[in-house]
Structure 1
Amino acid sequence: MDEMTLLNRRRDEVPPPTDLSAARDRLLTEIRRTPDARPRRAVRLGALVSAAGLAAAVAVAATQLGGATEEGEPPVSAAAVLENAALVAERTKATTVRPDQWFYMKESQPVDSLPVYEHWSRMDGAMTALRGSDGELKVSESEKGPTNSAKTLREIEALPGDPDAMLRHFYRLKRERAALSICEPECPPGSERDRRAYGAIQWYLKYGPIIPPDTAATMFRAMAKIPGVTIEENVATAEGRPGLAVVLDLGEAGKGYTILDPRTYRYLGVKSVRGGHSMAMSVLDSGIVDRPGETP
Structure 2
Amino acid sequence: MNNRHTASNPSDFPSRSNPSNSSGEARRSDADIEEIARLLPPPTPRGLPHEQHLHHKERLMRRIDRDQAARTDRTDQARSFGPRPARRLLRPALLVPVTALALGAILTTGIVLTTDDDAPATAATGQHDARDMKPAAALLDQISAAAGKGDAQKVRDDQFLYTRAKVREADLTSGKAVVSPVRDVESWASQQPGPLHKLGLTRENGETLPINAQLGDTDGTPEGLDRPTYHWLSSLPTDPDKLLAHLYAKTPESDEAERDQAVFDRIGSLLGGVMPPKTAAALYRAAAKIPGVTKLPTAKDLTGRTGVAIARDDTTFGARTEWVFDPQDFTFLGSRSYLFKDTRYGKAGTLMSAQAVIDHAVVDKAGRAPAASRES
Q: Post-superposition shift, 1:155?
A: 3.9
214 and 13 in structure 1: CA distance in 2 versus 1, 3 angstrom threshold: closer
SS state at 2:355 partner: strand
- What is the rounded CA distance, in whole Å, between the counterparts of 1:172 and 1:8 in structure 2? 24
> Is 2:95–2:167's contact at 8 Å kept on the other side of the alignment?
no
Q: Provide the rounded CA distance (Å) in 2 between the counterparts of 1:92 and 1:283.
A: 18
RMSD: 3.6
Mapped pair 1:10 → 2:93: yes
Match of 2:268 among 202, 206, 211: 202
- Between Structure 1 and Structure 2, how many residues are aligned? 223
Q: How does 1:2-81 map to 2 (within 5 A)?
A: 2=66, 8-10=91-93, 77-81=135-139
- The answer as to 2:335 corresponding to 1:260 is no
Within the candidate set 225, 228, 245, 1:152 is matched to 228
Q: Quick one: which of 162, 168, 171 aligns to 2:245?
A: 168
Counterpart CA distance in 2 for 1:150 and 1:228 is 25
Pick from 184, 189, 205 the counterpart of residue 121 of structure 1. 189
**Partner SS state of residue 214, structure 1:** helix
- Decide whether the 8 Å contact of 1:170 with 1:196 is kept in 2: no
With normalisation by structure 1, the TM-score equals: 0.64
- After TM superposition, give the deviation of residue 151 of structure 1 in Å: 3.7
Amino acid at match of 2:312: L
CA distance in 1, matches of 2:249, 2:225: 22
Which residue in the other structure is 1:90 paired with? 148
CA contact 1:90–1:214 (8 Å) conserved in 2: yes
**Cα distance, 1:98 vs. partner?**
1.1
If asked which structure has higher relative contact order (CA below 8 Å, sep 6+), I would say 2
- Give the structure 1 partner of residue 335 of structure 2: 270
Deviations 1:139-188 (A, max 9, x none): 576664589899412542332221111111222234389xxxxxx96x5x
Equivalent in the alignment of 1:101: 159
Q: Is the 8 A contact 2:333 2:357 kept in 1?
A: yes
Gaps of 5+ in 2: 1-62, 68-86, 98-131, 170-179, 215-219, 342-347
* Secondary structure of 1:10 counterpart: coil
Structure 2 length-normalised TM: 0.51
Letter in 1 for 2:369: E
State the one-letter code of the partner of 1:152.
Answer: P
Distance 1:131 1:163 in 2: 35
- Shift in CA distance, 113/254, structure 1 to aligned 2, threshold 3 Å: closer
Match for 2:359: what amino acid?
D
TM-aligned CA deviation for residue 248 of structure 1: 0.7
Gap change, CA 1:13 and 1:206, over 3 Å in 2: closer
- Following superposition, the deviation at residue 231 of structure 1 comes to 0.9
1:227 is matched with 291
More helix by share: 1
* Corresponding residue for residue 285 of structure 1: 359
The aligned counterpart of 1:294 is 369
**Distance across 1 between alignment mates of 2:227 and 2:133:** 38
Question: Offset of 1:127 from its aligned partner?
Answer: 5.0
- In structure 1, C-alpha distance between the alignment counterparts of 2:211 and 2:240, rounded to whole Å: 37
